[in-house]
Structure 1
Amino acid sequence: MKSLALVLLLTSATSMAADLVVPMHLVDEKGVGVSVGKITVTESKYGLVLTPAMQGLKPGLHGFHVHQTGSCEPKEKDGKMVPAGAAGGHYDPAGSNVHGTPWGDGHLGDMPALFVDENGSATHAVLAPRLKLSDLAGRSIMIHAGGDNHADHPAMLGGGGARVSCGVVK
Structure 2
Amino acid sequence: MNNSNYSDPNDGESNIQGALSAVANTQDKKAFELLFNHFSPKVRAFGLQRFGQEAQALELVQETMLLVWRKASLFNADKGKASTWIYTLMRNLCFDMLRKKQIQKEDPVSDDLWPFLEEEQTTEDDHLLSRHLLTHIESLPLQQKQVVEALYIQELNQQEVARLLSIPLGTVKSRLRLALAKLKAILEIEHD
* TM exceeding 0.5: no
**Rg larger in structure:** 2
Instruction: Report the TM range for the smaller structure's normalisation.
Output: under 0.3
**Alignment TM-score, normalising by the size of structure 1:** 0.23
Q: Going by fraction, where is helix more abundant, 1 or 2?
A: 2
